Amino acid sequence: MDGVTTTGARVAVVGTGSVGRALARGLAADHEVRFGSRTPDDPSLRGVLDDVGATAATPSEATAWADVVLLAVPGPVAASVAGDLAATVAGKPLIDCTNRFDGDEESVAEAVAAAAPAAHVAKAFNTIGANRFTDPTFPDGTATMFVCGDDAGVAAASDLAAGLGFDVVAVGGLETARHLEALAALWVALAGTYGRDVGFRLLGVGDGG
């Protein structure tokens, strides 16, 4: 599939932390969402599922079921998780939503793509706080969601981001992911000074102008 423009697409969110939960909460309004969790039967997850309106399965079960997969695990383990799921994400958009700040020249997204070479990998949802995933509109404009990667992955990530209300800007192939991860580091620094209710907005390009 080239995108997820229709409602009711099956979206797997691998990871149940703050990023995964916020994305699932926003996407569940238009799509069927299933968490991929190592402990899908953990009673502590029940409240999250009820709150979000999602179901849970193991990561391999969730990604095998899904039309599109969002990777929302800690950045340092993202490539390893993607490698474990390489068979079930093959041929599907795999959106890397992670960051790591260890100075490695290779981006997390490039490592994810190397670990799952048959997936359509894109980078998105990493340059703004999870608290604004479902509310990207600020008094002075709508935040930009930057997306890069494989064409099919970019199409799927753009559809999802637009559905959440972002102005979407595609910024190139997956080699651009390292710049988005650097932008995420800047966001962290800004959030430390101004609080988490901050976001980036690109002016003069498409809908972001």
- The domain that holds 28 is classified in CATH as 3.40.50.720
Q: 2 in a domain, yes or no?
A: no
Q: What is the pLDDT of residue 5?
A: 60
Q: 1 in a domain, yes or no?
A: no
Number of domains in the chain: 1
Confidence of residue 52 (pLDDT cuts 50, 70, 90): confident
Q: Is the pLDDT of residue 209 over 50?
A: no
Q: 3 in a domain, yes or no?
A: no
Q: Is the pLDDT of residue 96 over 80?
A: yes
Residue 93 pairs with which residues in a beta bridge? 120
Q: 5 in a domain, yes or no?
A: no
Q: What is the pLDDT of residue 157?
A: 97
Q: Is the pLDDT of residue 118 over 80?
A: yes
Of residues 208 and 98, which shows the higher confidence score? 98
Of residues 76 and 208, which shows the higher confidence score? 76
Q: What is the pLDDT of residue 101?
A: 86
Query: pTM for the complete prediction?
Result: 0.93
Q: What is the number of other CB atoms lying within 10 angstroms of the CB of residue 61?
A: 16
Q: What is the pLDDT of residue 206?
A: 61
Range of the structural domain that residue 51 is part of: 10-208
- Minimum mean pLDDT range among 47-51, 85-89, 169-173: 47-51
Kindly list the distances between the CA atom of residue 149 and the CA atoms of 44, 94, 135, 173, 194, in Å, as whole numbers in the listed order.
Answer: 35, 10, 25, 4, 30
Q: What is the pLDDT of residue 6?
A: 59
Q: In what order do the strands lie in the sheet with 144-149?
A: 55-57, 32-36, 10-14, 68-71, 93-96, 120-123, 144-149, 167-170
Q: What is the pLDDT of residues 145-167, one digit of tens each?
A: 999 999 999 999 999 999 999 99
Tally the C-alpha atoms within 13 A of residue 14's C-alpha that lie toward its C-beta: 32
